[in-house]
Structures are given as C-alpha cells and as structure tokens.
Amino acid sequence: MQPQVDLSDLGEGGVSRRHALIVREDGLVHLEDLGSSNGIFVNGVQLQPGLQRTLQDQDEVRFGSLRFQYRQVR
C-alpha cells in the first residue's frame, strides 16, 4: 500500500513508510502508531501502538525526529 502522505522530501528523520494512521471522523482527528520503530509522541508522551489518540489544537506531534504542531482548521 502506498502512503497517502509522503514525507521523504523532509529527509528520513526516523519516519517509516507506514509509521502512522491519521483519520478524520466526525470533526475530530485521530492518530495511531502502526508499530513504528522510532515511535510517535504527542506533547512528549509516547503513543502505544495500536491505540488511537484524538489530537487537540496545537498539540506537538513527533514522528521519529520530525516534529510538527497540529492546527485544527475551523
């Protein structure tokens, strides 16, 4: 399966091709670690693989060494 979001232009940064699942449902955005080697962190707390976390506006998300801030669009 091809990733729908390709981060390779940003450098490897410890991000695998199947690192995370991001789902938007009923106005909420959920994030799930798909068993990545370098983990996913939200506000410094590592997600447990297989469990979804609902993102809040301005959460800091880290995939490997790639960091970004989630901004909710209204």
More confidently predicted of 52 and 12: 52
pLDDT band at 55, cuts 50/70/90? very high
Phi, psi of 36 (to 5 degrees): -65, 155
CB-based contacts of 42: which residues, under 8 Å, 6+ apart?
31, 53, 55, 59, 60, 61, 62
What are the pLDDT digits (tens) for 16-45?
A: 556 788 899 999 999 999 988 888 999 999
The yes-or-no verdict on residue 13 having pLDDT over 90 is no
More confidently predicted of 59 and 73: 59
* pLDDT averaged over every residue in the chain: 82
